[in-house]
């Protein structure tokens, strides 16, 4: 039996932004065009830059007014850094990488000027309220997906503020080239030069505001289908970065896929190696190493509950398996973090537990310090 309390870093957590963030940060002419939600009995009207979308919602008597309010009711620290730190101490989480929660608007706005103003306001807020609250909280910088030039300058601006990671969606808007095209080269170069981690969070493919994010299937089994297929976008982003040679050209660039599990790393690497070898005659981007090696050296992946993820590190040689709590989301471990950590790590060697809970995260974000020592450390055997 391990120490009674296991400490871990989290490579996948979220803040819930205040509803008045844009009104407080932007001139009214821009703030008025940012997404707004008006709630009615059983539905909401979402207004995004003059376009209105009606979306069905659970009725308030179902105990939930909106997803955001449900999250806040469940975990009051979701948008209060001081309460959050108490939650983290209770749960045994030390440092966390935090992603935004407002996701819909970024892909529902067609105006690059408006999007850029929005991400700058969001990043300024995250810098002040998240990073400013504790060195344990690392916010990710959001970027415009409509202008690579704007994205590059926001990387440089947020790096100067102290951000250590960018958040990018697991897919590009229809009007923009996909990640395997060289159009993105200046952004990869800027992220690498800024020494920031390129973080893809799963389930963030752009959809218009009239579609619900994460709903690919309806009907029998829909909930399980939607959660399960939700993970594939992150793997595709990694395949694009490897196959196009982006990671080859930027050997210091580190990529994190958050929330998508981790056992896929070895499998996707095998699959890509097979393609590279067996279809060699058709391979148009020659690489200096086999694809799997880029995944093993430059790609990291976070999981929360997956029973097989630790084995990817212990038995398949992928050192970059990282744990994440997904606080405060429903898929996450809030309320049962210690139970989950014990189930994952009670029966594995110390070096494996330390690598997955702390070491791989600290390799991405060096200098954060170590979590408190485990309470009641196990006796030497």
Residues that bind Mn ion (CB under 5 A): 12, 259, 326
- Give the residue from 210, 211, 238, 214 showing the smallest Cα distance to 225: 214
Cα–Cα dist 120/375, whole Å: 41
Q: Give the nearest distance from C-beta 14 to Mn ion in angstroms.
A: 6
Residue 90: both structure tokens together: 């209770």
For residues 150 and 326, which CB has a smaller minimum distance to Mn ion in the complex? 326
For residues 116 and 204, which CB has a smaller minimum distance to Mn ion in the complex? 204
Q: In sequence order, which ranges of 230-356 are alpha helices (DSSP H)?
A: 232-243, 246-249, 264-278, 291-298, 309-314, 337-345, 350-354
Which H or E element spans position 256? strand 254-258
Q: Give the nearest distance from C-beta 120 to Mn ion in angstroms.
A: 23
For residues 11 and 119, which CB has a smaller minimum distance to Mn ion in the complex? 11
- Give the residue from 35, 33, 75 showing the smallest Cα distance to 334: 75
Q: Give the nearest distance from C-beta 97 to Mn ion in angstroms.
A: 10
Residue 361 near residue 297, CB atoms below 8 Å = no
Q: Give the nearest distance from C-beta 285 to Mn ion in angstroms.
A: 31
Q: Give the nearest distance from C-beta 325 to Mn ion in angstroms.
A: 9
For residues 154 and 259, which CB has a smaller minimum distance to Mn ion in the complex? 259
- Give the residue from 132, 128, 177, 131 showing the smallest Cα distance to 151: 177
For residues 99 and 296, which CB has a smaller minimum distance to Mn ion in the complex? 99
Cα–Cα dist 90/327, whole Å: 13
Q: Which residues of 350-370 are buried (b: 16+ CB within 10 A; e: fewer)?
A: eebbbbbbbbbbbebbeebee
Cα–Cα dist 361/359, whole Å: 5
For residues 26 and 106, which CB has a smaller minimum distance to Mn ion in the complex? 106
Q: Give the nearest distance from C-beta 193 to Mn ion in angstroms.
A: 27
Q: Give the nearest distance from C-beta 99 to Mn ion in angstroms.
A: 6
For residues 12 and 17, which CB has a smaller minimum distance to Mn ion in the complex? 12
Closest CB to Mn ion: residue number: 259
């Amino acid at each position: 039996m391990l120490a009674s309390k296991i400490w871990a870093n989290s490579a996948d957590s979220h803040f819930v932004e205040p509803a008045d963030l844009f009104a407080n940060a932007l001139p009214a002419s821009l703030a008025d065009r940012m997404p707004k939600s008006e709630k009615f009995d059983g539905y909401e009207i979402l207004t995004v830059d003059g376009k209105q979308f009606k979306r069905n919602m659970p009725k308030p008597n179902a105990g939930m007014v909106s997803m955001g309010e449900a999250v806040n009711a469940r975990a009051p620290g979701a948008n209060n850094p001081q309460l959050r730190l108490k939650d983290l101490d209770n749960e045994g989480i030390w440092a966390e990488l935090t992603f935004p929660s407002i996701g819909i608007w970024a892909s529902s706005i067609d105006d690059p000027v408006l999007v850029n103003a929005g991400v700058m306001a969001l990043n300024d807020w995250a810098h002040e309220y998240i990073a400013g609250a504790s060195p344990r909280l690392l916010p990710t910088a959001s970027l415009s997906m409509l202008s690579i030039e704007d994205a590059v300058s926001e990387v440089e601006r947020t790096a100067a503020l102290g951000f250590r990671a960018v958040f990018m969606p697991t897919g590009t808007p229809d009007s923009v080239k996909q990640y395997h095209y060289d159009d993105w080269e200046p952004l990869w170069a800027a992220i690498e030069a800024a020494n920031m981690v390129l973080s893809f969070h799963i389930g963030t493919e752009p959809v218009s505001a009239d579609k619900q994010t994460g709903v690919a299937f309806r009907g029998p089994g829909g909930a399980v289908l939607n959660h399960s297929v939700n993970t594939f976008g992150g793997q595709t982003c990694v395949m694009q970065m490897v196959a196009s040679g982006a990671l080859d050209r930027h050997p210091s660039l580190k990529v994190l896929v958050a929330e998508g599990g981790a056992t896929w790393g070895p499998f996707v690497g095998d699959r890509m190696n097979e393609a590279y070898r067996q279809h060699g005659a058709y391979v148009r981007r020659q690489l200096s190493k086999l694809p799997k090696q880029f995944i093993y050296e430059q790609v990291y992946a976070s999981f929360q509950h997956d029973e097989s993820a630790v084995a990817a590190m212990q038995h398949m040689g992928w050192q970059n398996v990282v744990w994440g709590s997904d606080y405060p989301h429903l898929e996450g471990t809030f309320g049962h973090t210690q139970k989950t950590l014990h189930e994952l790590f009670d029966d594995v060697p110390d070096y494996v537990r330390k690598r997955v809970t702390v070491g791989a995260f600290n390799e991405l974000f060096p200098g954060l310090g170590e979590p408190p020592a485990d309470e009641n450390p196990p006796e030497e055997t």
